[in-house]
Amino acid sequence: MATYNVTGVRKALSDDFTHRHIEGVCTDDHAHHALMTVVASIKAGDTWISKAGGYEKTIKVVSKCPQPGCKASPYIETSPWSLRKDNLEHLDLC
């Protein structure tokens, strides 16, 4: 199984135009990986880790985007309520 180090995220406007959510991630080799690619890889047994600002967290698959009313599903997260870089939503954009 492979391990990927995520250093940034790409976000897209939600279908209801109320927020931006993760559409993909960027790894330390500067490659972009679409959200569904990451989800499939994690489900296949690969490990995806966010590394930024001195924090390192394992990325996990969750049922949907955490924003109320958002239907983006499945989704990925690390520490969803944190305001620091251990929260995938707070990584730098890539």
pTM of the model: 0.92
pLDDT in tens, 45-72: 999 999 999 999 999 999 998 888 888 8
Distances (CA, A) of 24 to 38, 53, 86: 8, 19, 17
pLDDT tier, 24 (very low <50, low <70, confident <90, very high otherwise): very high
**Six-digit token string for 5:** 């180090």
CA distance 51 to 14: 25
The pLDDT of 3-26, averaged and rounded, is 94
CA distance 89 to 23: 11
